[in-house]
Structure 1
Amino acid sequence: MSCPHHPTESIVKEEGAQLDFSKDMSYGDYLQLGQILSAQKPLSPEHNEMLFIIQHQTSELWMKLMLHELHGAVACVASDQLPEAFKMLARVSRIMEQLVHAWDVLSTMTPPEYTAIRPYLSNSSGFQSWQYREIEFMLGNKNPAMLKPHAHRPDLLNQVQAAYQSPSLYDEVLRLMARRGIAMPESHTQRDWTQAYAMSEDVKAGWLSVYRDPKNHWDLYQMGEELVDLEDAFRLWRFRHVTTVERVIGFKRGTGGTGGVSYLRKMLDVVLFPELWALRTEL
């Protein structure tokens, strides 16, 4: 008595004739996997350096998508296309969740394992990530000192500087609210966009009028909650960053010359959309 064929065998045979991709664009071609998977160049003999490289490369890829979505969201807010902006901002928040969980993988690197590869890193540091800096600027955390790490690369400096000199996402939202008839101070809708955002009681009053009557301001109310979701996710990312760094290197200075954990802890106190958090006490 012959054994029955496994059901997948016939499927494989049937599909086999259609699996010749020599003439058409393949999966690897479309994704440029040859370039991506050959971009890991460990400098040390240490096994764990591959983790360190891939952690940071994948984070930069997620940040590239985040910037793509943020630029789209800012443009949509500026042109009153809020449904499209909501989708993009929701996606940014989900990307942030991916970045939060990425720290879980890096935290498997122990202090001795990191110490073994640290000499090979020279002064390279995540502090020099121009994509991260552009994200910070687009979310309103403007600081001219943060342009310095990119001064040696005019092409990158121009990219970061463009975000530094442009209205942030929150700036555009406040201008949207003013267009919708919500009272907004000119100090916050027509200002020097290179300056760090400063909380305003008048802006908070405008948001309170939205939150106290959400039915009549539903899309602005939804925008407020999208922004809170985004900052909530960003705070988690910052927190996991500082705890992972402390777990791996303690209180040593960062490779880029920063204070390491001490610098990252200061960043935990930065509030991007202060009025949206402050108004909750008064509702």
Structure 2
Amino acid sequence: MMTNAQNPEEIVKAEGAQLDFSNDMTYGSYLDLDAILNAQHPLSPDHNEMLFIIQHQTSELWMKLMLHEMRAALMHLQQDQLHTVFKMLARVSRIMEQLVHAWTVLSTMTPPEYSALRPYLARSSGFQSYQYRQIEFLLGNKNAAMLKPHAHRADILQAVQHVYEAPSLYDEALRFMARQGLPVPAAYLDRDWTQPYQANADVQSAWLIAYQNPEQYWDVYQLGEKLTDIEDAFRQWRFRHLTTVERVIGFKRGTGGTSGVDYLRKMLDVVLFPELWRLRTEL
């Protein structure tokens, strides 16, 4: 029986002229794979340290993208370009889902396996992640004490402090609401941005107006839901972090000096956008 199908050898031969990349930019050179794939330098003889390193390195890459999207969303929000903001915030939520799954992979490490490599970590800790700190500050969880872990690097401290002193994503959301004619209190439109956000009944009432009149305030309504999506995903990220740490090290102190699980459990109680959660009771 005759067939037009080519066997694999014929396909490779036919494409052979296209397989010489010696004078072109390649997949590896574009992605700088030599640097990325040679950036793992285990300090212990333990097999499982590669998992530990790669999980944290890939998480930092996802956080880099998250910050890229959040900063751009903040800028477009200031310019009332909400369609672009919605796209970027949706992407932030999806990135957080990837970070949740990263903890699932790390949870395959057993307590004895982690104990074998822990002495080699010294005081290095995810608590010192300056990208994570900027994400928290952009989401409004401001705390001056969280600048201290970065004081040993002037350049990093400057970057983190810049976000600490600037309006958060939620602060800019309230400013946008005011520009749309919603009654956001003036004290929430220009304040000391370094102070932790305090829930306010009048802010909740302003959100409630938008939620009860979505056609009139569609952009505000959608913005509220995108922010809720982000906090929902952020809570899951934190919870997976907590459960993975408890599963792997129990109640030992963290390598960075925190109380470990007890500290992470307290962080679960932090509410980033309180009015968006409370107004649901009134709808």
Which TM-score applies when normalising by structure 1?
0.98
Coordinate RMSD, CA, aligned: 1.5
Q: Deviations over 1:191-230 (max 9, x none)?
A: 0000000000000000000000101111110000000000
In 1: Cα distance, 2:19 partner to 2:65 partner: 31
* Counterpart amino acid of residue 186 in structure 1: A
Deviation at 1:52, TM superposition (A): 0.1
Displacement of 1:9 in angstroms is 2.9
Tell me which residue corresponds to 1:206. 206
Deviations 1:44-67 (CA, angstroms, capped at 9, x unpaired): 000000000000000000000000
Structure 2 counterpart of 1:181, one-letter code: G
What is the CA distance between 1:19 and its match in structure 2? 0.8
Q: Secondary structure at the match of 2:18?
A: coil
TM-score (norm 2): 0.98
CA distance in 1, matches of 2:83, 2:96: 20
2:187 counterpart residue number: 187
Q: Percent identity?
A: 71
CA distance in 1, matches of 2:153, 2:95: 27
**CA offset at residue 6 of structure 1?**
5.3
- After TM superposition, the runs of 4+ consecutive aligned structure 1 residues lying more than 4 A away are none
Distance in 2 (CA, whole Å) between partners of 1:42 and 1:185 is 53
The total of aligned residue pairs comes to 283
1:99 aligns with 2:93: no
Q: Residues 12-23 of structure 1: matches in 2 within 5 Å?
A: 12-23=12-23
Aligned equivalents of 2:71 and 2:260: distance in 1? Answer: 30
**Cα distance, 1:257 vs structure 2:** 0.1
Whether 2:177 is the aligned partner of 1:177: answer yes
Match of 2:50 in 1: 50
Q: Does 1:263 align with 2:263?
A: yes
Secondary structure at 2:251 match in 1: coil
Partner residue of 1:140? Answer: 140
Query: What are the ranges of 5 or more consecutive residues in structure 1 without an aligned counterpart?
Result: none
Q: Cα deviations across residues 145-175 of structure 1 (Å, max 9, x unaligned)?
A: 0000000100000000000000000000000
* Unaligned stretches of 5+ residues in structure 2: none
Segment of structure 1 superposing worse, 184-193 or 52-61 = 184-193
Partner of 2:121: 121
For residues 138 and 5 of structure 1, the distance between their equivalents in structure 2, rounded to whole angstroms, comes to 56
Greater Cα shift, 185-194 or 125-134 = 185-194
Tell me how far apart the structure 1 counterparts of residues 5 and 211 of structure 2 sit (CA, whole Å): 64
Q: CA deviation at 1:5?
A: 7.7
CA distance in 2, matches of 1:212, 1:89: 23
Q: Which residue of 2 aligns with 1:111?
A: 111
Q: Distance in 1 between matches of 2:267 and 2:280?
A: 22
